[in-house]
Amino acid sequence: MKVFDAESAEHAERIAKSVIGKSLRDVPLTVVEVTEFERSGEKGEPQQKGKANK
* CA-only gyration radius of the chain, Å: 14
Report the C-alpha gap between 35 and 51 in whole angstroms.
19
**pLDDT, position 52:** 47
pTM over 0.85: no
Tens of each residue's pLDDT in the chain, 54 residues? 889 889 999 999 999 999 999 999 999 999 999 988 877 655 555 544 444 444
**pLDDT, position 41:** 58
The full set of domain ranges for the chain reads 9-53
CA separation, residue 44 to residues 1, 39, 53 (Å): 15, 7, 16
**pLDDT, position 43:** 56
**pLDDT, position 42:** 54
Transcribe 15-35 into DSSP letters: HHHHHHHHH-TTS--------
